[in-house]
Structure formats: C-alpha cells, structure tokens
Amino acid sequence: MKTFAELNFPGRLVAVEGLDGSGKSTQIYLLKRWLEAEGIKVYFSEWNSSELVKSATSKGKKRELLTPTTFSLIHATDFADRYERHLLPLLRAGYIVLCDRYVFTAFARDVTRGCPPDWVRGLYNFAAQPDLTFFFKADLEVSLNRILEGRPKLKFFEAGMDLRLSSDPYESFRIFQGRILAQYMAMSEEFNFVVTDANQNVETQQVAVRKLVKERLDLERFRRRSPLPLPPAMHRNNKIEDIEEDSAA
C-alpha cells in the first residue's frame, strides 16, 4: 500500500485505530477541534457511517443476523462508499482528512471472526495507506471500564458474543478484544503504526498526538486562505452572538 503522499495527493490522511474503549475517538475529536481552531482545512469521517448501508447494518446488529462474512462485506461497502464520495474528493482538494478507524479495523476484526486474511485484504485493495496512523493501545480492563462508564452493558457484537467464546459477555469481551489486539500488534510494523499508550490521561495523549502531527505534516500547506463563514445562527440583528461550544465526547 502506498500512502496518499506517495500517490501525490495534495491532502493527507490521518487515521486512528484501537480497541473499543481505547479512547481513540476522543483523541481524534480533540485533534479535529484543534486543527479547526488553527485554521486548517480538515474533514472528519468515522467507521460505519455511510448512509448507503447504515440502516441495514443497524438492523442486522439489533436482530443479531450478521455472519462474519456478511459483517465483513457490509463494512467493506460502507468504507468503499465513503472512500469514493468523501475521502478522495477532500484529499484531492488539499484537506487533512481524519478517520476514526480505517481498513485496519477490518483486517483485525474480520480475521478474528474467522474470515481468511487474504480475502479480507482483497476487499480493500483499492485503498491507499494513511500518511499517519495512530494505534491507541490500552489494557483490556481499562478499555472495558471506559465503556461501562458510559453505558450499563456491553453490546452483543462488541463483546464478540456471536463467536460463542463465553456465555459471560465480559469474559467474551476480554477474549475477543484480546485476539483483535494481537492482530493489530502483528500489523503495527507492516503499516508503520504510531503506538500510543492509551492508559495515560487524555491531556497527555493529546499533547503527544498534536506534536507528532505538527512534525509529520506541514500544517501551513493546509491553512485556509480566508476564515470560515460564520453559521447563520450567529447572525442576529447584524450582531454576532456567542454560541456555546460543544463539549468533547
């Protein structure tokens, strides 16, 4: 896989990967807000968010109908749709594109669910490699506790219950996510992951993330030439009113 820089795209793609509960989504959200505040042209995309298949994926999960092969194919369709209609156009337009999960999620999860590695990679052979990939490595117990802080129980597929690893969802989570972690670590050198200690506090991690982004990407190249227009809600009686900032997820 060649990176977008090696393919001479004007834009650059930064991806984050990690186990469920690793805190990667918080880190990329904070990175996005910081880049926006710096006046950088930035676009964000997350896994399993294509309007083309989102409804079907949700129904399949709720009814627990997805087989490992179906799971793999529906996520590949989701990624291909976003890749062609959103990621590539913004990269050609010279944006920094941030992805909360990339093809490596499929490489890790689908193989853990029993799909042949070569077959899974073949589904995504059209995709270029990110210019920078952070892997947030958290202890399994840390990831589990973070998930349970936000909701009362684990989701069926999140815990790998479809694989019948254990009748206890918490033990199933540990086994399933542990196997996914092994897949990620096996890929880390092949795809040049920047492995980050996700057990650290949020602020410490974000400082390291921003530092590396500044070192690896020439941010001045992606700075907007004119400020973003103010949202309509900010104009009232020809005056600019304050809008409360959204809190971090």
Selected residue with higher pLDDT from 79 and 242: 79
- Give pLDDT, residue 226: 72
The answer to whether residue 232 scores a pLDDT higher than 70 is: no
Read off the pTM.
0.86
Question: Is residue 109's pLDDT more than 60?
Answer: yes
Mean pLDDT across the stretch 132-153? 93
Encode pLDDT of 9-60 as tens digits: 999 999 999 999 999 999 999 999 999 999 999 999 999 899 888 788 788 7
- Pick the more confident residue, 63 or 112: 112
> Mind listing the domains of the chain with CATH numbers?
15-220 (3.40.50.300)
Residue 241 has pLDDT above 60, yes or no: no
Mean per-residue pLDDT over the chain, rounded:
89
- pLDDT at residue number 217: 96
| Average pLDDT value for residue range 101-121 | 97
- Summarised one tens digit per residue, pLDDT across range 171-214 is 999 999 999 999 999 999 999 999 999 999 999 999 999 999 99
Residue 244 — pLDDT band, cuts 50, 70, 90?
Answer: very low
The pLDDT score that the predictor gives to residue 53 is 86
- Model pLDDT, residue 161: 92
The reported pLDDT for the residue numbered 238 is: 41
Q: What percent of the chain has pLDDT over 70?
A: 91
- Where is pLDDT greater, at 249 or 28? 28
pLDDT for the residue numbered 65: 74
Q: What is the DSSP string of the chain?
A: --BTTTTT-SSEEEEEEE-TTSSHHHHHHHHHHHHHHTTB-EEEEETT--TTTHHHHHHHHHTT---HHHHHHHHHHHHHHHIIIIIHHHHHTTPEEEEES-HHHHHHHHHHTT--HHHHHHHTTTPPBPSEEEEEE--HHHHHHHHHHHSSS--TTTTTGGGTS-SSHHHHHHHHHHHHHHHHHHHHTTTT-EEEETTS-HHHHHHHHHHHHHHHS-GGGGB-SSPPPPPGGGEETTEE---PPPPP-
